[in-house]
Structure 1
Amino acid sequence: MATREDEYATFVRARSHALLRSAYLLTGDQHLAEDLVQEALARTHRSWSRLHETGNAEAYARRVMYHLQVSVWRRRKVAEFLPGELPEPAHRGGPDDPDAIAWRITLERALGSLSKRQRAVVVLRYFEDHTEAEAADILGVSVSTVKTQAARAIEHLRKLVPHLREPDDERRPTA
């Protein structure tokens, strides 16, 4: 029979990659994402006996990640400025296609230009596929804040990456 430590190790092996993807989208930096996942898994380990019994280990680890990242965002920092224009991607091909690489870089830069809260909302709503209520609960904000931040983020992303516009956006008059 597997011990709790073996079960925890199995959980870590099975879910670390998915947690790391989400953490990278939240932080925008591979090393910070790894640190975030490591801390979330450490806290999950401390609560493993309770979490394992209820089957909520991954949800708990993700919630810890989001809360830790929000805490980082709340700390005072020197404002960052990313100079330069974003390149226009020609099309999206395979993962090694130069155009696909340029597209990913464009999207990564655009996501990096969002405010920290907007990025968290985009990750939760559109990458993790959480509802507005779930995202609000995870971030500890109101549903209306999630809606506002999501709308502002999408508007900002569409300005930076015109290819993200919906097909009928072309017909809408600009104000």
Structure 2
Amino acid sequence: MEPDTEATYADYVRRSWPSLVRAAVFLGARPHEAEDLAQTTLVRCYTGWGRVSSAENRDAYVYRMLLNCLRDVRRTRWWKDRQHDVALDGPRTAEPDATDRVAVADAVHRALGGLSKPNREVVVLRYFVQLTERQTAEVLGIPAGTVKSRLSRALAHLAADDHLLDLTGGTR
């Protein structure tokens, strides 16, 4: 890679790393797995930087790569044999003044976990990654109307989710 191109790639990595990791977490990966997925995605970006940088919508192209990496990992035998109820990397300690943020983050993760995989993907890409409906459709390879209908169903499900209702003090 030429020095100018490599500098452009490095700048892209610095800007996109946090949102790629965050998107992977919200798609259901554990934090250390999310970092691995983001790294794998960015390695694939490096090897195909010509295609990535010339893509009409670079972010949609890269988030599609992230989803493909996640799906590849989930197809492996290791993933299928993994225990889902094992605690994450040991106990988590939060600063006393951050308890509300921790409670909100936990409730959001639990609520997103209750969505079907296609609906969770749409919500994460649309609201957490902040792609447009058109970009989300491009990433997922579905029509924009399908994005809208999945969002509608997902938001209705989230509105009635007990984890989120506990935060607001609401009732069903």
| Structure 2 length-normalised TM | 0.69
Greater relative CO, 1 or 2 (CA 8 Å, sep 6+): 2
Deviation at 1:120, TM superposition (A): 0.5
The DSSP-based 3-state class of the residue aligned with 2:27 is helix
Deviation at 1:159, TM superposition (A): 2.6
Q: What are the residue-to-residue correspondences of 1:124-135 with 2, within 5 Å?
A: 124-135=125-136
- Paired position in structure 1 for 2:161: 159
Q: How many residues align?
A: 157
Question: 115-124 or 8-17, which moves further after superposition?
Answer: 8-17
Structure 1 residues 73 and 132, CA gap change in structure 2 (3 angstroms): farther
The DSSP-based 3-state class of the residue aligned with 2:64 is helix
2:60–2:135: 8 Å Cα contact kept in structure 1? no
Structure 1 gaps of 5+ residues are 83-93
Q: Distance in 1 between matches of 2:165 and 2:44?
A: 41
Structure 2 gaps of 5+ residues are 86-94
Larger radius of gyration: 1
Structure 1 residues 55 and 134, CA gap change in structure 2 (3 angstroms): closer
Q: What are the residue-to-residue correspondences of 1:118-157 with 2, within 5 Å?
A: 118-157=119-158
Amino acid at match of 2:7: D
Q: Distance in 2 between matches of 1:95 and 1:15?
A: 30
Deviation at 1:44, TM superposition (A): 0.6
1:125–1:135: 8 Å Cα contact kept in structure 2? yes
The DSSP-based 3-state class of the residue aligned with 2:142 is coil
- Paired position in structure 2 for 1:20: 21
Identical pairs, percent: 38
- Paired position in structure 2 for 1:61: 62
The DSSP-based 3-state class of the residue aligned with 2:13 is helix
Is 1:8 the equivalent of 2:9? yes
The DSSP-based 3-state class of the residue aligned with 2:161 is helix
